[in-house]
């Protein structure tokens, strides 16, 4: 299990994370910012998630691609 955090207010909706790793990230329909997909949210918080190990690589790739470096992956 890895922990995902998105500093959502800093998101510029560049589409990179949810394009690279749609299992973990999605565009929130209310504010257009990146969110953790519903199934992996912690306490329903769109900024915080716990994802299984087999999604670590794609989550990390998405984090590395973020132009404003607001995605954090903690193993």
If one asks whether residue 70 binds ligand SF4 (CB under 6 A), the answer comes out as yes
Choice between 44 and 67, CB closer to ligand SF4: 67
- What x-and-dash track marks residues 41-60 binding ligand SF4 by CB under 6 A? --------------------
Give the ranges where the chain is alpha helix by DSSP (H): 16-20, 56-65
Give 30's DSSP letter.
Answer: T
Strand pairing partners for 35?
26
If one asks whether residue 68 binds ligand SF4 (CB under 6 A), the answer comes out as yes
Give the ranges where 4-75 is alpha helix by DSSP (H): 16-20, 56-65
Name the site residues for ligand SF4 (rule: CB under 6 A). Answer: 6, 11-17, 34, 65-68, 70-71
């Amino acid at each position: 299990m890895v922990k995902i955090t998105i500093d959502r207010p800093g998101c510029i909706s560049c589409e990179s994370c949810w394009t690279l790793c749609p299992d973990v990230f999605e565009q929130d329909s209310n504010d257009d910012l990146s969110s953790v997909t519903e199934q992996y949210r912690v306490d329903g918080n769109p900024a915080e998630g716990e994802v299984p190990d087999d999604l670590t690589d794609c989550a990390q790739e998405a984090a590395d691609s973020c132009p404003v470096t607001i995605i954090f992956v903690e193993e």
